[in-house]
């Protein structure tokens, strides 16, 4: 980590916003002053200005029972009404909401606000017919197609709670999430296009719901609603399964959006923590929508009449929730929705889409930028990217080299870059430059947004001061903060609030440092959470998957730095003797990589699996992952004196070589 800090210290380039950009920017510096003068009044103004309230709120924040906050609690709203109906009622029904591009070229659909509203109303009626209403949980396991957005909004419209499960997760992962939330309905598709072929989804749902007899888990799912997209063969369970195209067009077109309290749960989104069990992060309605809408508006500088926004995240992640579904639609924006992968059928696919739709704002992840860098500038150079006027980054620290490449090759040195730091738990952006206001610095996420209070502190919670590294904390409650972990209030308190209980700070789990200007530089996670291509993975979760394989006696997983993906999963595995006798180490390693992919999902598949004879342990039996990381990153192995057996590391190093 220290070489990274040194490296960051040398970065002193700054880019001031152009007068042209600043003149038209949504944000201006007065936002900081207003928020600093009265933080709660500032958020109340945003909530009132940006959203429609069926019942206006009179209370803003209740923090009398920390860490359990409520925002705008006596107000009532309907989240879907805010994203849809009100735009149609304001005369903007013909505005395109979704410029959908399928992965196979030529596959496209334009969906207006009026059309999306109509679809969501019908689907809300279908949900009603299926008995889904206030407080019920609905799992959504879908490709990036307009119906996925409609599904989220219809669930929100009836006051139910969605749990979107990334389509790349396995049947087992889906099952665990369905069970934890007690979902009554699953909305899915037969399959979706990825990497030039149909990747099946419905078959995984069938697997997730199969063989529950004897598992001790009570089946909660009553129906499975299926969109036809991949046209792949699917099995059908009569009475349980329904085709979307059979029921949605036939449902009544009228549906009046009912108001729900601001603190009505909106969704659960599972994310990896430091244990093997993913956490169901719970978000509610009014505060979440306020901050998602506000940040999308001021950080992405949304001008709904003229912009074409494109956030490349999948709806299975928080970025897809806040900056595909909720923020942009509440702002009445027009956005691109792309089903497939960046390099299918050719490496210039994204830039072709930017050119085709005249995308003005692009929001993506550093890992994507780094993989484009690797392919070379000649690919984007083939396309007209002159429509791009603002670029965003999210998901992991963006290294200055990638930042500069993004600026020069994609943004033509004109488009400002906003590097936005936030988390599934924060619900919306927390630290970012404001375009048109902030002088940007390659590699730094920079300053807390107006209305957000953060600090960098030491283990005791004391401010570290400029020039020093420490832990990132959030010092005041914010509207889109998580309200809990589904079904586990103790874990909520323990994970985020216990460490700095005395100060009442939220512990983010990220290392950070403040430079001499007071700008924040993020340094990665300080816990056993890895960040692979901007996706969060838990070392423990992958270790449990590995030891779940009958060949494995013991396993340790580390995140090793990787040029393209930020970090990569590297596993050290002790295999049982009988398996070692019967198989080659290479064959075992391959089989275990595949196994993890099947257990959790392809994103969790280790880059490397090393079959070793022993693992480095302290005298108390704790695995020293730090040393394994040294080996995985090809470094000299660090201090081994606390190991029970100091010879272990030389054996492992030799084996790995």
Binding residues for Mg(2+): 547, 552
Q: Which of positions 169-188 make contact with ligand PRX (CB under 6 A)?
A: none
Nearer to ligand PRX, 99 or 508 (CB): 508
Q: Which of positions 433-492 make contact with ligand PRX (CB under 6 A)?
A: 445
Place of tokens 């019920």: 136
CA torsion angle for 483, 363, 457, 528 (degrees, to 10)?
70
* 395 binds ligand PRX, rule: CB under 6 A: yes
Taking the complex as a whole, the smallest distance from the CB of residue 555 to ligand PRX amounts, in Å, to 23
CA 20 to chain centre: 32
- 168: buried, middle or exposed (CB in 10 Å: 19+, 13-18, 0-12)? middle
Q: x/- site string to ligand PRX, residues 410 to 429, per CB under 6 A?
A: ---------xxxxxx-----
Q: Are 582 and 549 in contact (CB under 8 A)?
A: no
- The 3-state DSSP class for residue 142 equals coil
Identified binder of ligand PRX from the candidate list 159, 273, 287, 397, rule CB under 6 A: 397
* 295 binds ligand PRX, rule: CB under 6 A: no
- The 3-state DSSP class for residue 242 equals strand
* 279 binds ligand PRX, rule: CB under 6 A: no
Nearer to ligand PRX, 522 or 572 (CB): 522
Identified binder of ligand PRX from the candidate list 284, 360, 480, 531, rule CB under 6 A: 531
Taking the complex as a whole, the smallest distance from the CB of residue 254 to ligand PRX amounts, in Å, to 37
Q: Are 145 and 116 in contact (CB under 8 A)?
A: no
What is the layout of strands, in order, in the sheet containing 223-227? 241-243, 223-227, 185-189, 137-141, 161-164, 265-271, 279-284, 484-485
Q: x/- site string to ligand PRX, residues 91 to 130, per CB under 6 A?
A: ----------------------------------------
Q: Contact region for ligand PRX (CB under 6 A) — 112-120, 185-193, 353-361, 389-397?
A: 389-397
Of 507, 511, 529, which is closest to residue 67 (Cα–Cα)?
507
Binding-site positions: 194-197, 319, 395-397, 419-424, 510, 525, 533, 536, 547, 552
Cα–Cα–Cα angle for 480, 483, 485, rounded to 5 degrees: 130
* 326 binds ligand PRX, rule: CB under 6 A: no
Q: Are 649 and 616 in contact (CB under 8 A)?
A: yes
Task: State the DSSP H helix or E strand holding residue 41, giving kind and residue range, or none if neither.
Answer: helix 39-50
Q: How many residues bind ligand PRX (CB under 6 A)?
A: 21
Taking the complex as a whole, the smallest distance from the CB of residue 483 to ligand PRX amounts, in Å, to 16
Mark 417-441 as b/e (b = at least 16 C-beta within 10 Å): bbbbbbbbbbbbbbbbbbbbbbebb
Identified binder of ligand PRX from the candidate list 112, 291, 293, 319, rule CB under 6 A: 319
* 271 binds ligand PRX, rule: CB under 6 A: yes
* 285 binds ligand PRX, rule: CB under 6 A: no
Taking the complex as a whole, the smallest distance from the CB of residue 565 to ligand PRX amounts, in Å, to 13
CA 332 to chain centre: 22
Q: Contact region for ligand PRX (CB under 6 A) — 100-108, 356-364, 506-514, 541-549?
A: 506-514
Q: Contact region for ligand PRX (CB under 6 A) — 23-31, 283-291, 395-403, 592-600?
A: 395-403
Q: x/- site string to ligand PRX, residues 343 to 382, per CB under 6 A?
A: ----------------------------------------
* 519 binds ligand PRX, rule: CB under 6 A: no
Nearer to ligand PRX, 75 or 509 (CB): 509
- The 3-state DSSP class for residue 4 equals helix
Report the greatest alpha carbon distance in the chain.
74
**Spatial separation of the C-alpha atoms in residues 566 and 535, rounded to whole Å:** 10
Nearer to ligand PRX, 111 or 365 (CB): 365
Taking the complex as a whole, the smallest distance from the CB of residue 587 to ligand PRX amounts, in Å, to 33
Mark 302-311 as b/e (b = at least 16 C-beta within 10 Å): bbeeebbbbb
Phi first, then psi, for residue 440 (nearest 5°) are: -90, 150
Q: Contact region for ligand PRX (CB under 6 A) — 115-123, 136-144, 388-396, 580-588?
A: 388-396
Of 336, 331, 311, which is closest to residue 321 (Cα–Cα)?
311
* 599 binds ligand PRX, rule: CB under 6 A: no
User: Would you state the structure tokens that stand for residue 477, as one six-digit string?
Assistant: 């409650």
Task: State the DSSP H helix or E strand holding residue 117, giving kind and residue range, or none if neither.
Answer: helix 113-129
Identified binder of ligand PRX from the candidate list 122, 389, 499, 536, rule CB under 6 A: 536
* 283 binds ligand PRX, rule: CB under 6 A: no
**Spatial separation of the C-alpha atoms in residues 283 and 181, rounded to whole Å:** 14
Q: Are 131 and 105 in contact (CB under 8 A)?
A: no
Binding site for ligand PRX (CB under 6 A): 271, 318-319, 394-397, 419-424, 445, 508-510, 522, 525, 531, 536
């Amino acid at each position: 980590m220290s070489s990274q800090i040194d490296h960051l210290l040398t970065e002193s380039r700054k880019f001031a916003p152009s007068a042209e950009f600043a003149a038209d920017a949504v944000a201006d510096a007065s936002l900081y002053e207003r928020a600093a003068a009265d933080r709660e009044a500032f958020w109340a103004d945003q909530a009132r200005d940006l959203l429609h309230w069926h019942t206006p709120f009179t209370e803003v924040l209740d923090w009398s029972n920390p860490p359990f906050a409520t925002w705008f609690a006596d107000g009532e709203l309907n989240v879907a009404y805010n994203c849809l109906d009100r735009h149609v009622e304001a005369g903007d029904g013909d505005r395109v909401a979704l410029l959908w591009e399928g992965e196979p070229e030529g596959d496209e659909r334009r969906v207006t606000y009026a059309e999306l509203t109509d679809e969501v109303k019908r689907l809300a009626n279908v949900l009603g017919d299926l008995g889904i209403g206030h407080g019920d949980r609905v799992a959504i396991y879908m490709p990036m197609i307009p119906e996925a957005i409609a599904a989220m909004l219809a669930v929100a419209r009836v006051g139910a709670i969605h749990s979107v499960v990334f389509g790349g997760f396995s049947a087992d992962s889906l099952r665990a999430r369905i069970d934890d939330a007690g979902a009554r309905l699953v909305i899915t598709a037969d399959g979706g296009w990825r990497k030039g072929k149909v990747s099946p989804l419905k078959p995984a749902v069938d697997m997730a719901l199969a063989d529950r007899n004897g598992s001790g888990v009570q089946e909660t799912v009553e129906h499975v609603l299926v969109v036809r997209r991949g046209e792949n063969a699917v099995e059908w369970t009569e009475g349980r399964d329904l085709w979307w195209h059979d029921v949605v067009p036939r449902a009544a077109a009228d549906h009046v959006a009912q108001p729900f309290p601001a603190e009505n749960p909106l969704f659960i989104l599972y994310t990896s923590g430091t244990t093997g069990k993913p956490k169901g992060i719970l978000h509610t309605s009014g505060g979440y929508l306020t901050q998602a809408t506000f940040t999308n508006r001021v950080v992405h500088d949304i001008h709904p009449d003229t912009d074409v926004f494109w956030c490349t995240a999948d709806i299975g992640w928080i970025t897809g929730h806040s900056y595909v579904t909720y923020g942009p639609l509440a702002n009445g924006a027009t956005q691109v929705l792309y089903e497939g992968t960046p390099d299918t059928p050719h490496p210039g696919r994204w830039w072709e889409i930017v050119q085709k739709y005249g995308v003005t704002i692009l929001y993506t992840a550093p890992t994507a930028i780094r993989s484009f860098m690797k392919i070379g500038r000649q690919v984007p150079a083939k396309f007209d990217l002159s429509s791009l006027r603002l670029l965003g980054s999210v998901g992991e620290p963006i290294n200055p080299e990638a930042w500069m490449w993004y600026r020069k090759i994609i943004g033509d040195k004109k488009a400002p870059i906003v590097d936005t730091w936030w988390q599934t738990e924060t619900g919306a952006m927390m630290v970012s430059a404001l375009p048109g206001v902030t002088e940007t610095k390659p590699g730094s996420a920079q300053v807390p947004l107006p209305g957000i209070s953060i600090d960098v502190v030491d283990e005791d919670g004391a401010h570290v001061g400029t020039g020093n590294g420490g832990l990132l904390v959030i010092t005041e409650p914010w509207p889109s903060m998580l309200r809990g972990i589904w079904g586990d209030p103790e874990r909520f308190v323990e994970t985020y609030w216990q460490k700095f209980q005395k100060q009442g700070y939220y512990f983010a789990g990220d290392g950070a440092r403040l430079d001499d200007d007071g700008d924040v530089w993020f340094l990665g996670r300080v816990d056993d959470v890895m960040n692979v291509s901007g996706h969060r993975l838990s070392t423990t979760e992958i270790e449990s998957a590995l030891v779940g394989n009958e060949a494995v006696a013991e396993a340790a997983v580390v995140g090793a730095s990787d040029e393209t993906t930020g970090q990569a999963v590297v596993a050290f595995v002790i295999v049982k003797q009988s398996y070692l006798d019967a198989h080659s180490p290479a064959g075992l390693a391959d089989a275990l990589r595949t196994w993890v992919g099947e257990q959790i999902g392809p994103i969790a598949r280790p880059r490397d699996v090393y079959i070793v004879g022993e693992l480095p342990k302290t005298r108390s039996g704790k695995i020293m992952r730090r040393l394994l990381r040294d080996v995985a990153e090809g470094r000299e192995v660090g201090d081994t004196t606390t190991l029970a057996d100091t010879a272990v590391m030389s054996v492992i190093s030799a084996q790995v070589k």
